[in-house]
Amino acid sequence: MKYLITGLGNIGFEYVETRHNIGFDVLDVFAAKHGLLFESDRLADKAVCKFKGRTLILIKPTTYMNLSGRAVKYWMDKEHIPVENTLTIHDELAFALDTLKIRSGGSDGGHNGLKSIQECIGTTEYAKLRFGIGNQFPKGRQVDFVLGKWKDDEIPLVNLKVEACIKIIESFASIGLSRTMNLFNHIKYQTDQDHQTS
């Protein structure tokens, strides 16, 4: 049982810890928890995790966001991983910062990484872990917002959600998409400092 877990982001120092790179950040934390090291490989930095009898191939595409699908398609084919055993982690403007959603299907929502994956694998029916980043930016400044770094007061909630993402990845690989959706999709995340109503 093999699974392909893809974290989307851009390579390069200028993109480190930006909203658009949250997929990379999630996989880095997952790798640290499981004692893994990423190594440079074809079209991606790759690490391999053994978890509950499954093999998880973790990739951070080195193609830049707009060509992420090339890496996903290559590793799906090389490792003979069916589309239902893939999970892609990405930033999501349509959701507030307190939200994580896992789902299959749906449009790319203007996300260039998802658009590339859809074009390369020929379907929108693949599991996506959508990391809400909010949309608190002035008109016309979407790119600056997405490629900007987290605000200091956002970081505790971001870290909390990253930890939740680790559990979601483990759940997806062990009990599947539907049960994982039922467990996690209703949660609104907040830190001890937050007093917002969910």
pLDDT digits (tens, 9 = 90+) for 117-148: 999 999 999 999 999 999 989 999 999 999 99
Lowest mean pLDDT: which of 40-44, 108-112, 179-183, 189-193?
189-193
| Residues classed as catalytic | 20
- pLDDT at 39 > cutoff 80: yes
**pLDDT at residue number 159:** 97
- Asked if residue 162 lies in contact with residue 29, where contact means CB atoms within 8 angstroms, the answer is yes
Pick one of 1.10.10.10, 3.40.50.2300, 3.30.530.20, 3.40.50.1470 as the CATH number of 2-184.
3.40.50.1470
Mean pLDDT of 33-38: 97
pLDDT higher than threshold 80 for residue 43: yes
Alpha-carbon distance of 191 to 142, in angstroms, equals 26
At residue 32's C-alpha, the angle toward residues 64 and 115, to 5°, is 25
The residue-averaged pLDDT of 99-120 equals 94
pLDDT interval class at 191 (50, 70, 90): confident
How far apart, in Å, are the Cα atoms of 81 and each of 1, 57, 121? Answer: 9, 10, 12
Residue 52, judged by CB atoms within 10 A of its CB (0-12, 13-18, 19+), counts as exposed
What's the pLDDT at 192?
75
Task: Calculate mean pLDDT across residues 179-187.
Answer: 96
Which is higher by pLDDT, 195 or 59? 59
